Amino acid sequence: MFDLIVKGGTLPDGSTADIGITRDRITAMGRLEGAETGQVIDATGDLVSPPFVDPHFHLDATLSYGLPRINASGTLLEGIGLWGELKKIVTQEDMVTRALEYCDWAASMGLLAIRSHVDTCDDSLKGVAAMLEVRDKVKGYIDLQLVAFPQDGFYRDPTARANTLRALDMGVDVVGGIPHFERTMADGAASVRELCEIAAARGLRVDMHCDESDDPLSRHIEMLAYETQRLGLQGRVAGSHLTSMHSMDNYYVSKLLPLMAEAGVAAIPNPLINIMLQGRHDTFPKRRGLTRVKEMQAQGITVGWGQDCVRDPWYSLGTADMLDVAFMGLHVAQMSSPEEMRRCFDMVTVENARILGLEDYGLHVGAVASLVVLDADDPIEAVRLRAARLAVLSKGRLIARTPRGDATLELPGRPGSVRRRHPVA
Ligand SMILES: [Zn+2]
């Protein structure tokens, strides 16, 4: 007896299976013909995937686009300045309201686990309090992991160090940092060392905004990998952005990547934001501002696509759709072979789940019963179409439905409805 069966779906590996769900767990997979069940979701011919995971977001700033004004230069630095103006005037209640609205978008898109940085450079820590409240409010359907993020610099901002420690004491999950924003390279390196030591002492994960710059000499990822190894943090550390690696000397990178692989440091590029913000000081040729994704993967480094921003001081667009993120990443990193396109889907699902350390994630007996039914035949088609989320299940419950996106054609002599699914035979 199951509470719910998802019938006939195609899994990302191409096999088909019914998925039997009891309470919040997957309790059977395979042919479940004639089994007793409460509810049936017919997924025949549709892709059934584990939920999307976003490893890099800013939930305290989201949906604030235009407040108090628009980012005129489109640069990272003006965005940071603008956020500095906004965070003085925004209330805790505003932040909670906007974050919850975003979480509704995310849930409807099958995005059910989010790692969000929360700014700790504010003596009131109202953003931290707001995000802890949101984490609690959404926990029934979204796993929200919070990173203590000293936006204005762990050392550069006079009270950031104390406030970051307070945020961790309040229950923030992960240690963040921003070494390239410190005043000197030496301060940046020192911040990486101290923040990793704090994580090691508290048994926490680390995720730093690292080398989000076009400066080829911004090399804090080297220190992050070194400290990871020294402190035994392998598999628990991620470097977000790493855009400077795009511009680094090739010989240096040939030494850096094996160090990252040895240290088990993951990388989180954010293609929508990186392509938008980086290269702004260039004339032509203009750099793409994305880190070396395929080169890292070739070394065995885990790389996950992150979203970073939706409608905030840094980015005016966005819909909480991780397939948009994968689509952009695929283009900017030129991941065009079938294997690479397929990998882009994994980079917003299973690989991101690994970075967050999610337990019991996936489609197998014993896993948490969270999944998405997509209007697509396979993962590549899901990326191509940014396919509709026909059904979203979280922890055993159906939480969202979207109708298929077929258009009606009004052309004489042509069939009446347009189907954009077009799988390889
Ligand atoms: Zn960020």
Q: Candidates 2.160.10.10, 2.30.40.10, 2.170.130.10, 3.40.50.300; correct CATH number of 4-50+362-404?
A: 2.30.40.10
Please list, in sequence order, all residues whose beta carbon lies within 8 angstroms of the beta carbon of residue 76, skipping any fewer than 6 positions away.
212, 277, 278, 314
More confident residue, 7 or 406: 7
- How far, in Å, from the CA of 186 to the mean position of ligand 1? 22
Report how far ligand 1's centroid is from the alpha carbon of 56 (Å). Answer: 6
b/e map of 8-35 (b: 16 or more CB within 10 Å)? Answer: bbbbbeeeebbbbbbebbbbbbeebeee
* Total residues found in the chain within this entry: 425
Q: What pLDDT shows up at residue 415? A: 76
- For the chain, the structural domain boundaries read 4-50+362-404, 52-356
Structure token digits, residue 188: 């940046």
Please, what is the average pLDDT of the chain? 97
- Burial code (b: 16+ CB inside 10 Å, e: under 16) for 112-136 equals bbbbbbbbbbbeebbbbbbbbbbbe
Q: Write the pLDDT tens digit of every residue in 303-356.
A: 999 999 999 999 999 999 999 999 999 999 999 999 999 999 999 999 999 999
Res. 425 pLDDT band, cuts 50 70 90:
low
CB atoms within 10 A of CB 45: 13
Residues 271, 274, 275, 276, Cα dihedral to 10°? 120
pLDDT band at 109 (very low <50, low <70, confident <90, very high): very high
The answer, yes or no, to whether residue 231 has pLDDT greater than 70, is: yes
**Which of these, 232, 183, 255, 242, lies nearest to 207 by C-alpha position?**
242
Q: Which two tokens stand for residue 5?
A: 């069966």
CA of residue 298 to ligand 1 center, whole Å: 25
The pLDDT, as a whole number, for residue 406 is 86
> What is the model's pLDDT at position 414?
87
pTM for this entry = 0.98
CA of 24 to the centre of ligand 1 (A): 32
User: Hey, what amino acid is at 278?
Assistant: Q
Annotated catalytic residue: which of 33, 182, 212, 381? 212
Any idea which residue has 């390889």 for tokens? 424
pLDDT 10s digits, 118-158 = 999 999 999 999 999 999 999 999 999 999 999 999 999 99
Q: What is the mean pLDDT of residues 380-398?
A: 98
Ligand 1 centre distance from Cα of residue 5 (Å): 38
- Is residue 212 part of the annotated active site? The answer reads yes
Q: State the distance from the centre of ligand 1 to the C-alpha of 376, rounded, in angstroms.
A: 30
Banded model confidence at residue 416, pLDDT cuts 50, 70, 90? confident
Fold for the domain defined by 52-356: TIM Barrel (3.20.20)
Dist CA 257 CA 317 (whole Å) = 33
